[in-house]
Amino acid sequence: MWSRDKPTPDEEGTLPAANMYGTHPFFMYKHKKDAWVGVLYKNAHAQDWWIKNNKVDGTIGISTITTGGVADIFVF
C-alpha cells in the first residue's frame, strides 16, 4: 500500500515531494467467544499486505512486508 496525494503547486519533486501520506492498517479478530483484539500497524513507508482466507478450516492469515522505516504495532 502506498497512498499518493495529489501534488500541490508548492511541491517541486525534492523531498518530501508528492508522496506525503502512508497507510496505517487496522484489523480486528475474535480471540475468544466474547473477546476481540485490534491491531494497528503504523508505518509511513510503502507496504504490501496479503490476506489469505482458508475456507476449509475458517482461518485467515495476514502477512506484510514494508520498504523500511520504523513500525509501531499497537494491540488493543
What is the band of 33 on the pLDDT scale with cuts at 50, 70, 90?
confident
Average pLDDT over residues 71-75: 91
Give the pLDDT of residue 36. 93
pTM: 0.60
How many angstroms separate the CA atoms of 7 and 65, rounded? 26
What is the band of 52 on the pLDDT scale with cuts at 50, 70, 90?
very high
Q: Is residue 69 in a domain? A: yes
Average pLDDT over residues 46-53: 86
Q: Is residue 58 in a domain? A: yes
Q: Is residue 31 in a domain? A: yes
Q: Is residue 18 in a domain? A: no
The domain in which residue 58 lies consists of: 26-75
How many angstroms separate the CA atoms of 65 and 68, rounded? 9
Contact 39, 76 (CB under 8 A): yes
Q: Which long-range contacts (CB under 8 A, 24 or more apart) does 51-60 make?
A: 60/29
Q: Is residue 66 in a domain? A: yes
pLDDT of residue 43 exceeding 90, the answer is: no
Q: Is residue 16 in a domain? A: no
Domain count, the chain: 1
